[in-house]
Homo-oligomer: A and B are copies of this chain.
Amino acid sequence: MIKITFPDKSVKEYQKGVTGMEIAENISNSLAREICSVSVNNEIWDITRPIQSDASIKLHKFDDPEGKHAFWHSSAHLMAEAIETLYPGTKFGIGPAIENGFYYDIDPGDGITISDSDLPKIENKMKELSQQKNNYIREEISKKEVEDLFRKKGDEYKLELINELEDGTISVYRHGNFTDLCRGPHLPNTSYIKAIKLLSVAGAYWRGDEKRKQLTRIYGITFPKQKMLDDYLELLEESKARDHRKIGKELELFTFSQTVGLGLPLWLPKGTALRERLQEFLKKVQRKYGYEQVMTPHIGQKELYTTSGHYEKYGKNSFQPIHTPQKGEEYLLKPMNCPHHCEIYKSKPHSYRDLPVRMAEFGTVYRYEQSGELHGLTRVRGFTQDDAHIFCRPDQLKDEFKKVIDIILYIFRVLDFADFTTQISLRDKKDKEKYIGTDENWEKAEKAILEASKEKGLKTIIEYGEAAFYGPKLDFMVKDALGRNWQLGTIQVDYNLPDRFELEYIGSDDKKHRPVMIHRAPFGSMERFVAVLIEHTAGKFPLWLTPDQAIVLPISEKFHDYAEKVLNFLNNSDIRTLIDTRNEKIGKKIRESELKRIPYLLIIGEKEASEGTVAVRKQGEGDQGAMKLDKFADFIKKEVKKQTAEI
């Protein structure tokens, strides 16, 4: 008998050689049907693999990342089998599970092309093979045997991979007529894979090396139930429709230029206005909380970043130093604003009475990302942080933390991110050498974060060992309208920079003390936040924020005079209003204005002109009836006020 320990620390005895599947069956048959993999002493195994000695285990359903991984990895093998059946002689590169689904890089042989139109055929073959309920069988054989196997198949890609493995036994998985070099784990058999969709075909260089052969990469996704696949495909469609790059183009918010450079957004007038409105909103909140705005240059001498340690972190893989006609002089594009703010702090002496100093800046920073990693506004090479640094005494940490939490919660409320989670990252007490700062300061800082979060009613996940080496932190993750998670706000305690920059204040004891720094950014980056906001709202921004709040649509030229009057009245009332005086049918004007996501369409005809009203049509909600002009203006102002009301 062996002892099996469960995640709740309970222990049960089983026959030696028991499998994860059998343990699950022992609990309930319905559970057994759902599990996809099992962690055995923190290694993920097939649920059919015998356990030979005492172990801690955890069973993984499809909902767990470990479950999905086995499911999608098995799906990749299933797809490979289907392809081998349909395209005999195909050679195989690698075929991993990814964040959403799986892919396989294949070489169907010279002259054979697989394109999107071939995917249904492969998909059908996969379904057919899945119904055969073929078991995935793990075998451990010698390197030599594996080599023989793939040499016989003539698969040079697998041979190259095998060649790099150490000598000894190597695991392969077989199912049906297909065998693959693989660490596993896999599902018990192919019948688990009930809902299948192949998504796209792309080119991919073997081993990512553009000098080597371009293989065909086929992406797919699978689920245990058809309903799950349907939901996923719907989400995928909706995500595409909400893609911030698409909407950003439609609404003329931003653009990119090949000549200016990849990952360097150019903000168009409507996007600039939107961003400035967001910044003004944040500035106003921050002013209320005692922040002071500063402005600092976008470069600094290399020395600034060797002092801060950023050169060590970003130097090699980022934008390289800027030389000048003066020999030996070197500047860097700033990757962060904190060193500049430390220098401002140092520009005059501070007393304990002056603290906290709260220094805010919408600071544009530059970090080099690989071109393959760039994505719209979410991964760029230049972005503006809604940055601030709080320099405070250790005894002020908790209060300052609470105030930052207040700001972030206020912002989430105004911007309608109702669903969010928080994570507190603390140090690993068993490994204190990893962290800088005294034990006492760490205790104080961690206590401050924990208490502040509790007092503010946050439901937090606590992760030990996830703190940065220079201090603990609190992160906010929001769920968008599609249920996707985005990491936004972050609050971070820092003992390191005050040390490196030798920051000081004179305490009530007349002695020099070191302040603590808090880094915080509710949005993180203006670029990324605007992207998230676009995808969250599908471009239908809150009324107070949206570039254009209303558009006047006269039904014919006869009413242009009155329409212009309406336009001027509203713009003078600080309601951002457009007019469409083109000689087009009113139906077309309405459709195009709705595409532009303008919240209020004001139709002007005979009746409105004679009665001094506007016929109000609300985006997505249709006709709202006629309103006197000043009533409409009041209504909009009230709406805006309600949305931006202080807590």
* Contact surface of A with B, Cβ cutoff 8 Å: 252, 255, 257, 259-261, 264-269, 272-273, 275-276, 292-301, 303-304, 307, 316-320, 322-326, 331, 333, 339-340, 343-344, 346-348, 359, 364, 366, 368, 371, 382
Contacts and interface: CB of A to CB of B under 8 A. Distances in A.
Contacts of A318: 324-325
Contacts of A268: 294, 344, 347
A432 B252 CA distance: 42
Contacts of A364: 297-298
Contact of A259 (B297, B298, B343): B343
A317 B635 CA distance: 58
A264 B339 CA distance: 14
Contact of A296 (B267, B300, B340, B344): B267
A447 B40 CA distance: 85
Contact of A322 (B260, B320, B326): B320
Given A293-B273, A319-B322, A320-B322, A300 B259 contact: yes
Contact of A264 (B259, B299, B346, B368): B299
**A264, A265, A333, A366 pick with most chain B CB within 10 angstroms:** A264
B320 A261 contact: no
Contacts of A265: 297
A268 B344 CA distance: 7
A385 B273 CA distance: 19
Contacts of A323: 319-320
Contact of A303 (B259, B301, B320): B259
B382 A297 contact: yes
Given A259-B343, A261-B304, 9 more contacts: A257-B343, A261-B331, A264-B300, A266-B347, A268-B294, A269-B292, A298-B298, A298-B333, A299-B333
A459 to B, nearest CB: 36
Given A317-B325, A320-B323, A382-B299, A266 B293 contact: no
Nearest to A276: B293
12 contacts: A261-B297, A264-B299, A266-B344, A268-B344, A269-B293, A269-B359, A297-B364, A298-B366, A299-B319, A319-B322, A320-B323, A325-B368
A340 B295 contact: no
Contacts of A320: 322-324
A456 B309 CA distance: 57
Contacts of A266: 294-297, 340, 343-344, 347
A303 B366 CA distance: 19
A304 B261 CA distance: 9
Contacts of A326: 371
B267 A295 contact: yes
A359 B268 CA distance: 9
A44 B185 CA distance: 93
A245 to B, nearest CB: 14
B255 A301 contact: no
A269 B343 CA distance: 14
Contacts of A252: 348
- Can you list the 3 inter-chain pairs with the closest CB atoms, starting with the nearest? A269-B292, A267-B295, A257-B343
A574 to B, nearest CB: 12
A348 B326 CA distance: 41
Contacts of A304: 259-261
A23 to B, nearest CB: 48
